[in-house]
Structure 1
Amino acid sequence: MIKILLHTVLRGLSRQKVYSLINILGLATGVTCTLLILIWIEFETSYDTFHQDVKQIYSVYENQKYADGDIFSVYSTPSPLAETLKKDIPEIENATRIVSSWGQLTVNVGGRNFIEKGGKIVDADFFKIFSFEKIYGDTTNCFLNPNSIVLSQKIANKYFGDINPVGKTVVINSKYKFEVSAVLENARENSSITYDFLLPFNFFQEFWDYDLKDWEANTFHTFVKLRKNANRNDVRKKISKIISKHVLNSNVELDMQAFGDYHLYSINKGSAGPIWYVRLFFIVAIVILLIACFNYMNLATARSERRSKEVAIRKVVGAQRRGLVGLFLGESLFFTIIALGISIVLVELLLPEFGDMINRHLELNPGNYKFFFATIIVVLLTGIVSGSYPAAYLSSFAPIQIIRGFSRHDSALVRKILVVIQFTMSVALFISTGIIYQQLAFLKRSDIGYNKDNIVYVELGGNFNNNYEQLKNEWIKIPGVNWVTAANQMPVNFANSTWDVNWSGKLKEAGDILFQLSFVDFDFIETFEMNVIQGRTFSKQYGADTLQFIINESAASKMNMENSIGEKLTIWGKKGHIIGVVKDFNFNSLKVGVDPLIIMRNPAAFKYVGIRIGKDRQPVIINKIRKSWNKILPEIPFTYRRLSDDFDYFYQAESRMSKLFLSFTLVAFIISCLGLFGLASFITERKAREVAMRKVFGANMDQVFHLLLKDFLKWMLFAIAAAWTMAYFVMEWWLNGFAYRIHIGIGIFLISAMLTFLIAFLTIYKLISSLSGIAPANMLKYE
C-alpha cells in the first residue's frame, strides 16, 4: 500500500508540478503560522510552572468593596498579613511578603558605583516557597544575618566577575553594608517574579522608615504555600475576614489566586487578562489551518477530471472505495508531511522575528514533548481534514460512466462553500485588524488632559530634597528648560490611594470611596500643562501650601460639590481646604476611566523630578542637564526617561496584537487567494467547452468573463456579509473593554469588500485570459 501511495504521489508531483507546489506551499504556510502561535501559547502557559510545588502556592489579594457597588481587587496587602496567616491558619505552611525597592539604589562595590532598580525585599520563607536554583551559598539560612544580600547570577557577574562572591561586601546608598550570602540563577523569562538582588525586610523598615505593623497600609504582595492535601476553599473562607479583625469597619475581604494563574488571569472581574490573547490567537491558529485545509480541498478537486480515469481503472481492476479513500487520505498526509518539513525550516527562520514582534524570546525545541505531540496532532488533523472531501469525492466516481466518456456532473457547491468560508475568515481578520489599528491610533491621539510630550524625568534617591532644590535651581537656568517640578509619581503611574477621606456634607450612605493621591511640588500643574477650571495651583506666595488640596472633576462629582473652592477636606486625620479643581486627566491607560484624585504637597514623599524642555535641540538640552547632574551628584550615573515612551507602554499588548493580526491576515488572504484560484480553475475547466461553443457562435471573451464573474461575485457577497457580521460583533465586544473607544465606521467594511471583489476580479480575469488563447477547435475536437 505504501509503495502504491508513494508511486501515486510522485507521479502526481511530476505531472502537475504547479498545482502540487501550490498545494504544498499552502499547507506549509498554514502549518507554519499554527506552529508559531502554538510555540507562543506554550510559552505563555508555562509561566511559573518550573516551581517545584507550584500547585500549593497562592497569591493573596484584597477585594475592596465600595459604596457604588464596585469591587476593586488588588494584590497589595498590609505588612502584618503574611506572619498572621502563617500563625493563625494551620493549612498555611509558609508565607512571604514581596515588595520592589522604592526607587533607585546606589550600589558601591570596590569603589565602583551602580544604579539599580531591580531589587526585591522578601522574607526568609521566600526561599521555601519558590524554586529558584542556587549557584553559590546556602538559601536555607541566607537571612540569618540581617545584613545579608542575595544576588542574581547576572548581577553577581556584573559586580564580581566569574568568581564566587559569597562573603563579599556591597554598600547601598553609601551607608548600608551587606554581605553576599548566596547567588541564585537569573529569573527565567517565564517567571512572574523577577529580581536582580534580594534583601531582608529589616532593610525596608530602616531605610524607608516604614511601620511594618500598620494594617491599613497596603504595600506588599503576600504569597503563601499550603500544606499538602490542604483544602483551598477552606483556607479561602478562613482568610476572608482577617483584615476586618484588625481594621474597624473594613471594606476588605481577602481571597487567593493559584500562582499558576497569576500571569494569565486577572483578579478583577470584567478584565480578561492575558488569557484573552492566548485564546484569541489559538482561534486564529485554527482559522488559518482550516483555510489551508480548505485550500487543499479546492485545489485537489479542481483537477478531478484528470484523475477520473485513474479512479475508474483502479475500480475496474478491483480497488474498493474504502481503499481509494485511504489512498487519497494517505496522499494528503504525505503532502502535509512534506509541508511540515518546509514549515520546520520556516519556523526556525521566522521565530526570532516573531519573538521580537511579541517581545518574547522563543525557541524551537523539538525535544519538548508538548510541542512534539502538538505537531503530530497538527499534521494528522491537517492531513485528514484536507484530504477528507477529495477522498470522498474522487472515490465516488462511477467507472462505467467515466470509461464511456461521460463527465461526472457536479454542482461544485461544496467547493464554493469552502471558498466562502475561507474569504469569510480572511475578511473578518482584515476588518478586525483595521479596527484594532484605528482604536490604537485613537488612544494615542486622544486628549488625555495634559501634555505628555517634551517631558523627561529622573529619579532621585538618598537625601532627595537637598539634591532636588540644588538641581532645580541649576536646571531652570538652562536655555530650553521651561519648567522643573517634583512628585512622588509621574502621571502615567499613579498608584497611591486611600478611602480615608472626609468632607463637610459627606453622607453616611456615601460609604467608602477610593481616591487616588498624588504628592507634588510647586509648578507641577504648569509643567504638565493641566487645565485648572476653578481656584488656583500651589504657589510659594502662600507658604508651604502643604495642607491645601487640588482635586479633579471626578473627585468633585463624588463629593457632590458644585463649588469646591474653600471646602474643608480631611485625609488621614489631616485637615485642609480645597484650593483648586483641575480638569480630569488620564493617569492610567485609556482602557479605564478617570478615578477621583486628590493632589497635595508633601515634599517628604517626592521621588521624581519632571522637566519640560523645548521641542528644538533636545539632545543639547539633555546633555546640559546631565552636566549639571554630574557636577552635583558625580557618584550617581545620570539616567532619564521620556514620559511619552511610558505612555506608549500602556498599549504594548494591543500594539503587538495588531502586528500579529496584520501578519496573519496577510497569510490568510494569500491562502484564500490560492483557494479561489483552485475554484476558478475547476469551474473554467468545466466550462472550457461552453466557452468554446460561445466563441463559435460569436461571443467575445468580455461576455464570457462577465458571465463567470457574475457567478463568483454572488458567492463573494455571501462571504463579505458573513465576515461583516462576525467582525462587527467580535470587535464591539473587544472595544467595550475600553473606557474610551472609537465607534465602528463603515469605511473598513467597504475597503474589505472592494479588496475581496478586486481579488475575485483579477483571478477570474487571469483564467479567462488563459482560455482566450486556446482555439475552439482544440477544446471541441473530442466532442
Structure 2
Amino acid sequence: MFKIFLNTVFRKLYLQKGYSLINILGLATGITCSLLILLWVEYELSFDSFHQNKSQIYSVYENQTYADGETFTVYATPAPLAANLKENIDEIDKATRISRTWGKLMLSTEGSTFVENSGLCVDPDFFKIFSFPVLLGNPNLVMPDERSIVITEKMSKRYFGEDNPLGKTISINTNLKYHVSAVLKDSPKNSSLYFDFLLPFNFIKENWGFNLNNWDSHAFLTIIQIKNNTYIPSLETKIKPYIKQNLKQSNTDLALQKFSDYHLHSINGNKLSPILYIRIFTLVAFIILLIACFNYMNLSTARSERRAREVAVRKVVGAHKRGLFALFMAESIFISLLAFGLAIVLVELLLPFFKELTQRDLTLKLSNPTLLLSFAAIVLFTGFVSGSYPALYLSSFKPIRILKGKLYRDSHLFRKLMVIIQFIISVALIICSSVIYRQLDFLQDKDVGYQKDNIIYIEMLDNFQKHYPKLKENLIKIPGVLKVTAANQMPINFTNSTSDISWKGKSKDAKDVLFQLSFVDYDFIETFEMEVLQGRAFSSKQGADSLKLVINEAAASVMNMKYTIGEKVKIWDYEGEVIGIVKNFNFNSLQVGVKPLLMLMSSDEFKYIAIKTSGDEQPIINKIRETWSKSFPKIPFSYRLLKDDFSYLYKAESRMSLVFISFTLIAIIISALGLFGLSSYIIEQKYKEMGIRKVFGAEFQNLLRSFLYRFLKWILLANLIAWPIAYFLMQWWLAGFAYRIHISWMEFLGAGLLSILIAFITVFYQSYKISTIAPIKAIRYE
C-alpha cells in the first residue's frame, strides 16, 4: 500500500516537474529559514541554563526613582547587601557578590608577564550557586582562603602549559601574591558570566582600598540562591524596603529577577533586548514558512482541475471524502518531508555564513531531542497548513459534475487572497527593512557633540596613574600627535553616576537627580572638540582647576541657576566651583537622551589615555607603540579606536538588521516564486484564448496589458494594506531610541514600486513566452 502511494506521488512529481520544483523549492526555502532561526533562538534561550539550581538563582537589582519621574533600573548594588540579605532573610540560602576587576591587571608567574581584564571578584558561595565544573582542586572548597586564585583551563595552559598549576603562585601588580587553588572548565559561550580567573572579593579592598562596608556605593552584582518552595512575591516584599534602612537616599527599592533571564530580559528600559529580537525573528520565521505554505496551497488549488477526474474516478469506485482528504494530506506531508530533507542540506551549507552573521556558535545537532521535536513539528505544521485547504477542496468535488465536464471555479478568490497576503507580508518587510537600515545609518552618522574620528585610546593598567605625566610628555612629542589627555571613561560610555549632589537653591525636600560624573585631565574638552557655551574649559595654567567643575547644558537646566558660572556645587564631601558649561553631547547610546553631567579633575581616577592624531593613524600608532615599549618594555601595548567602539555600540542592532534584511529578501523571493507559478498556470489556461486573440491581430502589448491588469490590482491592494501595518510597527520600534529618523513616504513608494517591478518582470516573462507560440498550437492546446 505504502509502495503504491510512493509510486503515485513520485509519478505526479515527475509529470508536473516545473510545478513540483516550485513547490518543493518554496517549502524548502521557508523551512531552511525557519531552521536557521530556530537554531539561533535555541542558542539564545540556552543562556545560563546549564546551572543545576537555575530555578533558584536570582539577581538582586535596584529601582531608583528620580525627580524627573524616570526610574533608573540597575544591577549595581552596595557591597554589604549580599551578606546582610543572607543573614537576615530565612528564604535566602546562599549569596555572593560579583564584580569585574576594575581595569587591566598585570599578572606574572616565574619569567612571564600577562595583562588581563577578564577576571571576577567573588565570594565563596559563588561556587555553590553556579555550576562551573572543577577540573583540578577540591570541588567542595574551591577558594579556601583570601590568597587563592581560581583559573580556567584555557588560562592554565597559557600560564603553565601542561604542568599541574595547583599551588603555583601568580603575582598581581607585582605586590600581591596568590596561589592557584583550582582549575575550572572554561565558561561556556552561552554564559552571562565570562571570566578567565576568579579572585576573593576582598581583592577590591586590598588592591584599590575600597570600603566594603559602604552602603552608598552601588557597584556590585548581588546574586542569591533561594530555598525550595520560596514564594517570590513574598520574598520581594521582604527585600524591597531593606536597602532603605542603610541608605541616605529614599528613592531606591530592591527587586528580584531570575538569573536565567539575565541575558534575555533587559531591566533598564531598553526595548531592544535579546528577548525582543527572539520574538521578532520567531515571527519572521513563522511568516516566511507561512508564505511558503501559501505558495503550495495556491498552486495546488490552481491545478486542481487536473486532478478532478482522478477524484471523480476514486469516488465512483467507493472512496469517501474522509479517505480522499487523508490521501491528499499524506501527499502534502510527504512533499513537506522531501522539502525538509533539502532544507537540512541547505542549512548545513548556509550555517557557516549564518554563524558569522549572528556571531553565535550555532550547531545542527540531529541528536538533540528538543531540536528533533521542533523539526517534526515544522514538518507536520508545513504539511498540514499547506495541504489542508487543497485536500479539503479536492475531496469535496462531486463526481457527477466532474464527469459531465462541469469543473469547479470556486477557489479563484482564495488564490487571489493568498497572493495578496504574500505581498502584504513582503511589502511590510521591505518597508521595515528600509526603516531599520536608515535608522542605524542615522545613528552611525549623527553628530554626537564630540570628535570621535582620529582618536586612539589606551586603557591604563591598575595603579598606572603615576606614570601618566611622563608618558604624556613623551607622546605629545610624536609627529602627528595633536593632543593627549586622560579620563576615567571615554565619551562613548559614561557610567559613573551619583545623586548625592547639592547646590545653592536646591530645596531640602526636592527629589534626587541622577548626575553622570567624569574625572578628566586638562585638554579633555579640547581633545574631543566639545563646544564651550559659557565660561571656559579646564586649563593647566590655572593651578586651582582641581577644585573646579565643568557641566553640560542638561546639568545647568536641572540646577536652574540664574548665573551658573562661579556657583558652588557639592558632590559628596567635595565642593567645586562651576567654571564652564559645554553643549550637550551624547555620552551613551543614542537609545537614551542626554543626562546631566559634571566633569571634574582627579588624576587618581584616570583609566584611559586618549590621543588625538592628525589622521594618518597607522604610522602614528607605530610611533606610539615604540614610545610605549621604551617606557614599559615588559607590558604589551594595546590600543583601541574610538570610532570603532562607537560603531560597536550598535553592533547588535546592525547584526540583527542584516539578518532581518536577509530574511526579507528570502520572503520576497518566495512570494515572487509563488506569483511566477500562479501566473504561469493562469496564462497556461488562457493559451486558447490568447491564440484566438492573436488570430484577430492582438499584439504582445495587448496581451501584456491584459495580464498586468489582473495581477497589478492585487499588488496595489496588498500595498494599501501593508503600508499602515508597517508604519505602526516601525513607529513602535523607533520609540526605543531617543534620537530617531522620521518615516519617509519614500519607504512606502519604494516598497510599492519594488513589488510592482517584481510582478511586472514575472508577468512580462510569461506573456512574452505565450506571445511567441504559434496561434494554431495555442488553439489546439486545450
Matched, 1:743 2:742: yes
The secondary structure found in structure 1 opposite 2:375 is helix
Separation in structure 2 between the aligned mates of residue 225 and residue 24 of structure 1, nearest angstrom: 51
Separation in structure 1 between the aligned mates of residue 411 and residue 332 of structure 2, nearest angstrom: 23
Matched, 1:253 2:253: yes
Matched residue, 1:666: 665
Matched residue, 2:116: 116
Q: Could you report, residue by residue, the CA deviation over 1:327-360 in whole angstroms, capped at 9, with x for unpaired residues? A: 2111111111111111111112211211111111
The secondary structure found in structure 1 opposite 2:96 is strand
State the AA in 1 paired with 2:637: F
Instruction: Return closer, same or farther for 1:272/1:644 CA change in 2, 3 Å cut-off.
Output: closer
In the TM superposition, 1:269-348 aligns within 5 A as 269=269, 271=271, 273-348=273-348
Separation in structure 1 between the aligned mates of residue 512 and residue 139 of structure 2, nearest angstrom: 43
Matched residue, 1:725: 724
The secondary structure found in structure 2 opposite 1:546 is helix
Matched residue, 2:5: 5
State the AA in 2 paired with 1:371: L
Deviation at 1:452, TM superposition (A): 0.5
Separation in structure 1 between the aligned mates of residue 576 and residue 672 of structure 2, nearest angstrom: 69
Separation in structure 1 between the aligned mates of residue 257 and residue 210 of structure 2, nearest angstrom: 27
The secondary structure found in structure 1 opposite 2:545 is coil
Deviation at 1:470, TM superposition (A): 1.1
Q: Which moved more, 1:291-300 or 1:519-528?
A: 291-300
Matched, 1:365 2:329: no
Separation in structure 1 between the aligned mates of residue 158 and residue 208 of structure 2, nearest angstrom: 26
Matched residue, 1:711: 710
Instruction: Return closer, same or farther for 1:766/1:123 CA change in 2, 3 Å cut-off.
Output: same
Q: Is the 8 A contact 1:352 1:361 kept in 2?
A: no
Q: Is the 8 A contact 1:265 1:272 kept in 2?
A: no
TM-score w.r.t. length of structure 1: 0.98
Q: Is the 8 A contact 2:304 2:394 kept in 1?
A: yes
Separation in structure 2 between the aligned mates of residue 336 and residue 101 of structure 1, nearest angstrom: 53
State the AA in 1 paired with 2:154: K
Separation in structure 2 between the aligned mates of residue 763 and residue 248 of structure 1, nearest angstrom: 71
Matched, 1:758 2:757: yes
Deviation at 1:272, TM superposition (A): 5.6
State the AA in 1 paired with 2:757: L
Matched residue, 2:578: 578
Deviation at 1:544, TM superposition (A): 4.6
Deviation at 1:161, TM superposition (A): 1.5
Deviation at 1:459, TM superposition (A): 1.4
State the AA in 1 paired with 2:321: R
State the AA in 1 paired with 2:112: R
The secondary structure found in structure 1 opposite 2:546 is coil
Separation in structure 1 between the aligned mates of residue 468 and residue 23 of structure 2, nearest angstrom: 68
Q: Which moved more, 1:347-356 or 1:589-598?
A: 347-356
Separation in structure 1 between the aligned mates of residue 463 and residue 689 of structure 2, nearest angstrom: 90
Matched, 1:418 2:418: yes
The secondary structure found in structure 1 opposite 2:202 is helix
The secondary structure found in structure 1 opposite 2:237 is helix
Q: Which moved more, 1:635-644 or 1:557-566?
A: 557-566
Deviation at 1:504, TM superposition (A): 0.6
Percent sequence identity is 55
Matched, 1:701 2:720: no
Q: Is the 8 A contact 2:120 2:198 kept in 1?
A: yes
Matched residue, 2:43: 43
Q: Is the 8 A contact 1:494 1:518 kept in 2?
A: yes
State the AA in 1 paired with 2:702: Q
State the AA in 1 paired with 2:566: G
Q: Is the 8 A contact 1:548 1:601 kept in 2?
A: yes
Q: Could you report, residue by residue, the CA deviation over 1:549-602 in whole angstroms, capped at 9, with x for unpaired residues? A: 000000001111243100111110211210000111111000100110000001
State the AA in 2 paired with 1:86: K
Deviation at 1:782, TM superposition (A): 7.9
Q: Is the 8 A contact 1:67 1:509 kept in 2?
A: no
Matched residue, 1:592: 592
Matched residue, 2:183: 183
Q: Could you report, residue by residue, the CA deviation over 1:164-221 in whole angstroms, capped at 9, with x for unpaired residues? A: 2111111111111110000111111111111110000222111001000000001110
Q: Could you report, residue by residue, the CA deviation over 1:702-759 in whole angstroms, capped at 9, with x for unpaired residues? A: 2222122112111111111111111111001000110000000011211111111111
Q: Is the 8 A contact 2:216 2:248 kept in 1?
A: no
Separation in structure 1 between the aligned mates of residue 612 and residue 272 of structure 2, nearest angstrom: 37
Separation in structure 2 between the aligned mates of residue 389 and residue 699 of structure 1, nearest angstrom: 38
Deviation at 1:268, TM superposition (A): 3.0
Matched residue, 1:688: 687
Q: Is the 8 A contact 1:302 1:681 kept in 2?
A: no
Q: Could you report, residue by residue, the CA deviation over 1:53-82 in whole angstroms, capped at 9, with x for unpaired residues? A: 011110001111112221111100001001
The secondary structure found in structure 2 opposite 1:448 is coil
Deviation at 1:764, TM superposition (A): 1.3
Separation in structure 2 between the aligned mates of residue 206 and residue 703 of structure 1, nearest angstrom: 88
Q: Is the 8 A contact 1:293 1:382 kept in 2?
A: yes
State the AA in 1 paired with 2:611: I
Matched residue, 2:501: 501
Q: Is the 8 A contact 2:103 2:462 kept in 1?
A: no
Q: Which moved more, 1:29-38 or 1:231-240?
A: 231-240
Matched, 1:780 2:770: no
Matched residue, 2:93: 93
Separation in structure 2 between the aligned mates of residue 109 and residue 464 of structure 1, nearest angstrom: 20
Separation in structure 1 between the aligned mates of residue 69 and residue 391 of structure 2, nearest angstrom: 59
Q: Could you report, residue by residue, the CA deviation over 1:78-114 in whole angstroms, capped at 9, with x for unpaired residues? A: 0100110111111111100000001101111221111
CA RMSD of aligned residues (A): 1.5
Matched residue, 1:400: 400
Instruction: Return closer, same or farther for 1:488/1:162 CA change in 2, 3 Å cut-off.
Output: same
Q: Which moved more, 1:29-38 or 1:324-333?
A: 324-333
Separation in structure 1 between the aligned mates of residue 271 and residue 124 of structure 2, nearest angstrom: 33
Deviation at 1:3, TM superposition (A): 3.0
Separation in structure 1 between the aligned mates of residue 510 and residue 709 of structure 2, nearest angstrom: 66
State the AA in 1 paired with 2:726: A
Matched residue, 1:540: 540
Q: Which moved more, 1:386-395 or 1:305-314?
A: 305-314
Q: Could you report, residue by residue, the CA deviation over 1:627-654 in whole angstroms, capped at 9, with x for unpaired residues? A: 1111111111111111111111111121
State the AA in 1 paired with 2:298: N
Matched residue, 2:27: 27
Tell me, which stretches of 5 or more residues in structure 1 are unaligned?
none
Matched residue, 1:223: 223
The secondary structure found in structure 1 opposite 2:541 is helix
TM-score w.r.t. length of structure 2: 0.98
Matched residue, 1:59: 59
Separation in structure 2 between the aligned mates of residue 756 and residue 30 of structure 1, nearest angstrom: 19
Separation in structure 1 between the aligned mates of residue 770 and residue 549 of structure 2, nearest angstrom: 81
State the AA in 2 paired with 1:279: R
Instruction: Return closer, same or farther for 1:523/1:270 CA change in 2, 3 Å cut-off.
Output: closer
Deviation at 1:269, TM superposition (A): 4.3
The secondary structure found in structure 2 opposite 1:214 is coil
State the AA in 1 paired with 2:638: T
State the AA in 1 paired with 2:631: I
State the AA in 2 paired with 1:658: S
Deviation at 1:772, TM superposition (A): 1.9
Matched residue, 1:133: 133
Deviation at 1:777, TM superposition (A): 3.2
The secondary structure found in structure 2 opposite 1:545 is helix
Separation in structure 1 between the aligned mates of residue 115 and residue 391 of structure 2, nearest angstrom: 67
Q: Is the 8 A contact 2:127 2:142 kept in 1?
A: no
Q: Could you report, residue by residue, the CA deviation over 1:236-267 in whole angstroms, capped at 9, with x for unpaired residues? A: 11111121111234311111111111111122
Matched residue, 1:204: 204
Tell me, which stretches of 5 or more residues in structure 2 are unaligned?
none
Matched residue, 2:266: 266
Q: Is the 8 A contact 1:5 1:330 kept in 2?
A: no
State the AA in 2 paired with 1:585: F
State the AA in 2 paired with 1:767: Q
Deviation at 1:125, TM superposition (A): 0.6
Separation in structure 2 between the aligned mates of residue 709 and residue 329 of structure 1, nearest angstrom: 34
Instruction: Return closer, same or farther for 1:95/1:782 CA change in 2, 3 Å cut-off.
Output: closer
